[in-house]
Amino acid sequence: MPTPVLYDLLCSKGGADRRLLATGAPPTRRGRDDWIITGMRLRSLGLITALAWLVLVGLTTVVTDMDPAPAVLFAVLGLLVVAGLVVLLSTQRLVQQVARDNARARTADSGVAKARQAQATKRGPVPAKLRAQEVAKVRAAVDRDLKRTFRQVEAMQNLYAMIDIKHALPASRGWPASPDLLLLLVDLVDRHRPKVVVECGSGLSTLCLALAMRRFGIEGKVIALEHLAQYAEQTRELLRRHGVDDIAEVRVAPLEPVKAGEVEVDWYSPNAWQDLTEVDLLFVDGPPSSASTHARYPSLPFFVDRLVTGSHIVLDDYQRDKEQLVVDQWIAEYTDRLTLEKIPLEKGAALLTFE
């Protein structure tokens, strides 16, 4: 939703920073207060509408004996629509308020207006086209955020439908995997039924992989390599709570200096993964790439002889330059054995098939 900071920005771009003759105060301050009150009213209306929608969905579910999953989906979609309408109405009111302040500013004291005009002359006038562009940028940013959020909600709903989640999940997005990436991993397990899954890193993705193995009746194992003992224990507790600690294993693998080809970098200790063979799915989401451009490069060189034909490698964060360089290097070194598919997820993902 637009904020008072955006209001001030648009007012300053529109020339509404001249003082009013009647009040002697900047129009931006007075208009901003009016708009904040309007925003509060719109949010209150949106909250009431959202509650009414939830009550309606609940009553419909009880009366029609609807399944919980579609009911939850309808409730979430309704809330997204309400949120979108509140944002759009707020943006419209913002633009209207800025226009009113600009009109009122033109009636300000002539002496003050002349002084402002002199300053404006030094800075140069702001064309109306530029003001319209600023408003368009705000609207475009709000629209992109709504679409991105909707995709993640949709992916999470699919996850709940595909795997048996009975307890609370930790937060996703940001540092943890986003719902769309988790859905990709679960879909790979469903379609290709891997027996051995190796993950570089651990967390929510480890749990979803294990839940997918159980849901689809696959007799296999998920092995996660984690360089921090604290996070490894947190993931183990998560697995225990969801009853899949017999399917997934988290190994503490401290980062040690290694050499993969011509690349020297800190990577997971070989003692934690040297026994792994016949790997069907390799998910690379670690180590953190902040330490080095090649932080995730050793994943494929060290496992290339441990992958089965037809296996898959998934690299997270593919929208970042470092991960793209890693994939480019892999493709250059294993041209005849890798097929790349770029997956347009929130943070980007590279899906490679090993032949």
Q: What are phi and psi of 132, to 5 degrees?
A: -65, -35
158-162, 217-221, 279-283, range with the lowest pLDDT: 158-162
Give residue 124's pLDDT band: very low, low, confident or very high (50, 70, 90): low
pLDDT at 215 over 90: yes
Q: pLDDT exceeding 90 applies to what percent of the chain?
A: 48
Q: Give the alpha-carbon dihedral of 31, 36, 41, 47, to 10 degrees.
A: 150
pLDDT at 320 over 90: yes
Question: Do 342 and 195 belong together in one domain?
Answer: yes
8 A C-beta contact, residue 296 and residue 320: no
Q: Which domain holds residue 252?
A: 167-354
Question: Do 39 and 171 belong together in one domain?
Answer: no
8 A C-beta contact, residue 233 and residue 258: no
More confident of the two residues 65 and 17: 65
Question: Do 156 and 268 belong together in one domain?
Answer: no
| Best-predicted range by mean pLDDT (28-32, 35-39, 173-177, 221-225) | 221-225
Question: Do 100 and 182 belong together in one domain?
Answer: no
Give residue 86's pLDDT band: very low, low, confident or very high (50, 70, 90): low
Give residue 168's pLDDT band: very low, low, confident or very high (50, 70, 90): confident
Give residue 123's pLDDT band: very low, low, confident or very high (50, 70, 90): low
pLDDT at 97 over 70: no
Q: What are the C-alpha distances in Å from 275 to residues 57, 225, 323?
A: 52, 13, 27
Each as own residue / partner, the long-range contacts of residues 106-110 (CB below 8 Å, 24 or more positions apart, any chain) are 106/18, 107/20, 107/21, 108/18, 108/19, 108/20, 108/21, 109/19, 109/21
Q: pLDDT exceeding 70 applies to what percent of the chain?
A: 73
258-317 pLDDT per residue, tens: 999 889 999 999 999 999 999 999 999 999 987 788 999 999 999 999 999 999 999 999
Question: Do 173 and 285 belong together in one domain?
Answer: yes
Question: Do 231 and 85 belong together in one domain?
Answer: no
Q: What is residue 36's predicted lDDT score, i.e. its pLDDT?
A: 63
Q: What is residue 150's predicted lDDT score, i.e. its pLDDT?
A: 87
Q: What is residue 17's predicted lDDT score, i.e. its pLDDT?
A: 44
Question: Do 112 and 131 belong together in one domain?
Answer: yes
- What is the average pLDDT value for the chain, to the nearest integer? 82
Question: Do 178 and 145 belong together in one domain?
Answer: no
pLDDT at 121 over 70: no
d(CA 300, CA 263): 12
Residue 261 belongs to domain with CATH number: 3.40.50.150
Q: Last residue of a domain, which of 161, 196, 221?
A: 161
Mean pLDDT of 78-91: 71
d(CA 114, CA 131): 22
Q: What is residue 172's predicted lDDT score, i.e. its pLDDT?
A: 83
23-27, 54-58, 215-219, 316-320, range with the lowest pLDDT: 23-27
Give residue 323's pLDDT band: very low, low, confident or very high (50, 70, 90): very high
Q: Last residue of a domain, which of 135, 161, 187?
A: 161
Mean pLDDT of 224-249: 97
Mean pLDDT of 106-111: 56
Q: Is the peptide bond before 287 cis (omega within 30 degrees of 0)?
A: yes
Q: Last residue of a domain, which of 140, 161, 182?
A: 161
pTM: 0.63
Q: Could you write out the three-class secondary structure of the chain?
A: CCCHHHHHHHHHHHCCCCCCCCCCCCHHHHHHHHHHHHHHHHHHHHHHHHHHHHHHHHHHHHHHCCCHHHHHHHHHHHHHHHHHHHHHHHHHHHHHHHHHHHHHHCCCCHHHHHHHHHHHHHHCCCCHHHHHHHHHHHHHHHHHHHHHHHHHHHHHHHHHHHCCCCCCCCCCCCCCCCHHHHHHHHHHHHHHCCCEEEEECCCHHHHHHHHHHHHCCCCCEEEEEECCHHHHHHHHHHHHHCCCCCCEEEEECCEEEEEECCEEEEEECHHHCCCCCCEEEEEECCCCCCCCCCCCCCHHHHHCCCEEEEEEEEEECCCCHHHHHHHHHHHHHCCCCEEEEEECCCCCEEEEEEC
Question: Do 39 and 86 belong together in one domain?
Answer: yes
pLDDT at 211 over 80: yes
22-31, 67-76, 259-268, 324-333, range with the lowest pLDDT: 22-31
Tally of domains in the chain: 2
Q: What is residue 81's predicted lDDT score, i.e. its pLDDT?
A: 74
